[in-house]
Amino acid sequence: MLVKGSNYLETLSKTRYVVFDKTGTLTQGVFEVAGIHHSTMAEAQLLELAALAEHFSTHPISLSIQAACRPAPDPARVTDVKEIAGRGVQAVVDGRTVLAGNQKLMDQFQISFGDRCRHMGTIIHVAVDGEYAGHIVISDQPKPEAAQALSDLKAAGVRRTVMLTGDAQSAAEGVARELGLDEFHAELLPGDKVDQVERLLAQKQPKENLVFVGDGINDAPVLSRADIGVAMGALGSDAAIEAADIVLMDDDLSKLAQAVRIARKTLSIVRQNIVFALGVKLLFLALGAFGLANMWEAVFADVGVSVIAILNAIRALSVKEYK
């Protein structure tokens, strides 16, 4: 764990709200095509059109669609690619206009697609020349340690855990239910995440702090806005790591609860040392004023108290870890 300053450790000790990004933070960020549904053409053809439309995107979901399409299609068939932030992509493939993205993209172009898909996962809708062509279900599994990490945070005194994601409602609901999150919000744009954090900041008490945990470049504004921003160091973007106050170097979520415990123990030891040192010095100052303290007692009040404070501070090296 990299903590970029002692003030962040002090702020972390008062953590009561923890807000998570979903992809790459609570989940593994390894996407796979789990199914193709309601396709009006051959499934292989629908997957190929989506892969071509997403060919120039480096988003993990786009990469999973490209990986599932084998053999890889010729990108020379694609022209006029336009990425629509928070929604998807628009491209011309073999002279046909292809849209690939979430429900908001379909709504933007007024494309009807019937009932919401009941399959768990991220839904990528595909439309060709203004007509709905079907959708692809992308799965992303929670990290093995995520559920235990959330339980540890509760044990460490965190009152509320919240997940924010741009993924579909069904995908977010499945992860939130499996991990036992208190609250989740799906289908959010990067600006919407900031709005949700602002809402939570307004709800909390003055002496309570909010931590946001994320890994993507889109998380940088939220990491900066939260009381404490925590970035995933192994797979996180450079922008997220730069904007964060604390970095989990190995992306292990269980380290977050440990960081909270370290912060609280450290602040407790600091307060103990301050009270002890000032108390002893004031006592011997009063005794000296009445002529009741000798030189050796004065030495103890100075050097002895410092040694005891240092020995007490060494206890910060020992922090209980949850197994």
Instruction: Just list the catalytic residues.
Output: 21
3-state class (DSSP) for residue 309: helix
Q: How far apart are CA 17 and CA 80, in angstroms?
A: 44
CB atoms near residue 49 (< 10 Å): 27
Tell me which amino acid residue 123 is.
I
Nearest to 18 by CA among 184, 240, 195: 184
Q: Where are the alpha helices (DSSP H) in 92-189?
A: 103-108, 146-155, 169-179
Torsion (CA) 139, 144, 148, 153 in degrees, nearest 10: -70
- The whole-angstrom separation of Cα 43 and Cα 30 is 22
Q: State the DSSP code for 303.
A: I
Q: Which pairs count as long-range contacts for 302-306, CB under 8 Å and 24+ apart, including other chains?
A: 305/276, 305/277, 305/280, 305/281, 306/277
CA 239 centroid distance within chain: 14
- The CA distance from 306 to 299, in Å, is 10
How is 193-258 classified by DSSP, letter by letter?
Answer: HHHHHHHHHHHS-TT-EEEEEE-SGGGHHHHHHSSEEEEETTTS-HHHHHH-SEEETT--THHHHH
Of 118, 126, 233, 230, nearest in space to 173 by CA: 118
* Helix (H), strand (E) counts: the chain: 12, 13
